[in-house]
Amino acid sequence: MLDLLKKLIDRFFFNEETVYFAIFLLVSFLLLFYFGGILLPILISLVIAFLLNGLVQALENLRFPRWLSLTTSLLVFFALYTSLFLILPIIGSQINSFIQTLPNIVESLQDVLSNLASSYPEYFSEDELPNLFANLGSQLNNLLAQALGQIAGTISFAFSALIYAILIPLMVFFFVKDKETLLPLISFFAPEQKGLMDSIFNEMNDQLYNYVTGKLIEIFIVTSVSFLAFSFLGLPYTFLLALLVGLSVMIPFFGAILVTVPVLLVGLYEWGISTEFWWLLGLYLIIQALDGNVLVPLLFSARNKLHPVVIVIAVLFFGGIWGFWGLFFAIPLATFVKAIINSWPKPLPE
């Protein structure tokens, strides 16, 4: 056992920098795991500041003065941040209304299934149908109510709390404005030789910026197109369902499957198996197909692609640890782990 441990140390921790970086990763993980809730406003502010810094650099590349680039970027942030407080009451209202209507929606699904059972009695047993419907109704009620309740709770906690409303814009302002002053304080704790850290963070800088900005653009486009399609059909809870479809792109594979349930349930409740329902299903499938086959390849380069098995593991692991934000950053975190593996130095042969 001791020999194996010695071999592992000799293979992976053979110089000062690898030891420093391993300690940094371990401390960061423990802090996020045990104090993630407390540190959440700081983490959100850092991500926003990171994105705004990219906008500042883009404006400076266009020969804008730094003061004008900073001012423009911060004005964009404060405008978007303020608009959230106008949108959130609409989302909360539709969530509450949807939860209250859930029993009726599930009942309409049971009616549809009953009609199908009557039309095809050879596939359904009359004795089993009542238990099946009771089970299905109970499960759907609990699942959707819990999911929407969690969304409402997250929104309320994250944006209605006064401390978040004040701290986040304040920290974003100073993180962006005083970046050159704050960075040397962080580098004080780094080792003298920083080749490994520089290699990893330089690789991650572009990939993380491209991923987060691309994902935000994707969410906006998918939400907007879904809203227009649902509004055209006259689907109830248009804004809430369009937002759910947009947010579903954050969770690869699982997101599109999960959000299909409430969209189709509301369609069944409103129209039953009718022409309007088939139009809804067709438009929804077209939106999903265009997102996966057109929008994603345009927004994300091949550098950000990971094996599907790695993506599934990342979503399950980071989503299980950090919930909503773990799901959102599952792909960047998986890419970060991949960058560490690719950049980790190899010991010189003896």
Give me the pLDDT at residue 30, please: 83
> Tokens 């800088």 sit at which residue?
205
* Confidence band for 278, pLDDT divided at 50, 70 and 90: very high
138-152: per-residue pLDDT in tens?
A: 555 565 656 655 555
Q: From start to end of 238-288, where are the E strands?
A: none
Give me the pLDDT at residue 231, please: 94
Length of the chain: 350
Q: Is the dihedral of CA 163, 165, 167, 170 positive or negative?
A: negative
Distance CA 212, CA 220 (A): 12
Give 130-186 as a DSSP string. Answer: HHHHHHHHHHHHHHHHHHHHHHHHHHIIIIISHHHHHHHHHHHHHHHHTHHHHHHHH
Residue closest to 333 by CA, chosen among 39, 43, 11: 43
> Tokens 């879904």 sit at which residue?
226
Distance CA 78, CA 22 (A): 37
Distance CA 5, CA 2 (A): 5
What percentage of the chain has pLDDT greater than the value 90? 9
Give me the pLDDT at residue 332, please: 77
CB of 304 closer than 8 Å to CB of 314: no
Distances (CA, A) of 10 to 5, 14, 67: 9, 5, 49
SS3 state at 37: helix
24-33: per-residue pLDDT in tens?
A: 778 878 887 7
Q: Where are the domains of the chain?
A: 41-176, 199-345
Q: What is the pTM for the complete model shown?
A: 0.73
Residue closest to 241 by CA, chosen among 256, 225, 221, 226: 226
Query: How far is Cα of residue 248 from the mean position of the Cα atoms in its chain?
Result: 8
Neighbours of 128 (CB within 10 A): 10
SS3 state at 300: coil
* Confidence band for 270, pLDDT divided at 50, 70 and 90: confident
Give 32-98 as a DSSP string. Answer: HHHHHHHHHHHHHHHHHHHHHHHHHHHHHHTT--HHHHHHHHHHHHHHHHHHHHHHHHHHHHHHHHH
Torsion angle of the four alpha carbons 55, 185, 342, 326, in this order, in degrees rounded to the nearest 10: -70
248-268: per-residue pLDDT in tens?
A: 888 776 778 888 888 988 888
> Tokens for 88?
């959130």
Give me the pLDDT at residue 195, please: 65
Give me the pLDDT at residue 312, please: 79
Distance CA 14, CA 342 (A): 17
Residue scoring higher pLDDT (37 or 291):
291
